[in-house]
Amino acid sequence: MNDYRDVNRANWNDRASAHAASPDYGVARFADDPAHLSDVVRFDRELLGDLSGLRGVHLQCHIGTDTVSLARLGATMTGLDFSDKSLIEARKVAELAGADVRFVQSDVYDARDAVGDGYDFVFTGIGALCWLPDVARWARVVASLLRPGGRLFLREGHPMLWSLQDARTDALVVEFPYFERSEPTVWTENGSYVSTDVEFTHNTTHEWNHGLGEIVTAVLDAGLTLTGLVEHQSVPWEALPGQMTLLPNGEWQLTDRPWRLPHTYTLQAVRNTV
């Protein structure tokens, strides 16, 4: 497998069922509580505003917990992912939740051909952009999916966080690229970011970082107008093991002087009408 998509798809397919079974995703709660939302969407809810009656597409939706949560907020949702095994789990989550969500398998760069256009909003969540080699191409795809005046809502891990070495527990050490590079950072890791005892077979991934300025510029060049950019001092997983504290809202924060590090950010933009 030489193509980055084949390598990464094998990794995600290997982990999809384990993620769905992990307590970290809390899939059963969607059946137990009709009002349950994923932690990510609960964090975003104030900035998301009223989604009632809006038509949305969630790019790189994985097992669909955020997609289903957006549907519970009143949106008509389509979820898109390149991993067929992830979408099997996503459809199970939607069935458990009693949510009418369409899930489509496609590479994100082919999203418009796969799901059409004219959407009121595009949602992209934590840990998505790092799988894409070209953020400018991604932004053009987003613009092509939106109706004029439609909105992009992106919450992501901060590129400064992605550049840090996560094996250190005594210091913040910048080790990996901050800016987008043509060559990927290649990782080989046996586990996953959720609690699981499953042993995986496909453990290699190809990933890219994109600087915050590169992301903003890509969005502007694609014909969108920036309407919000907020940097946050928390992240939904223990990104720096041994250096973070779990907060009451389920997010993690750097224990020592968290104001030193942007953990995540939320970017909002609208497609220009002319």
Place of tokens 């933009």: 269
SS3 76: strand
Question: According to DSSP H, which parts of 81-178 are helical?
Answer: 84-97, 111-115, 135-145, 159-162
Confidence of residue 2 (pLDDT cuts 50, 70, 90): low
What is the pTM (predicted TM-score) of this model?
A: 0.95
What proportion of the chain, given as a percentage, has pLDDT over 70? 99
Tokens of 251: 């997010």
pLDDT digits (tens, 9 = 90+) for 81-133: 999 999 999 999 999 999 999 999 999 999 999 999 999 999 999 999 999 99
pLDDT digits (tens, 9 = 90+) for 234-274: 999 999 999 999 999 889 999 999 999 999 999 999 999 87
What proportion of the chain, given as a percentage, has pLDDT over 90? 85
Closest listed residue to residue 120, CA positions, set 64, 65, 181, 48: 48
Confidence of residue 189 (pLDDT cuts 50, 70, 90): confident
CA–CA distances in Å: residue 31 to residues 26, 93, 103, 109? 10, 8, 19, 33
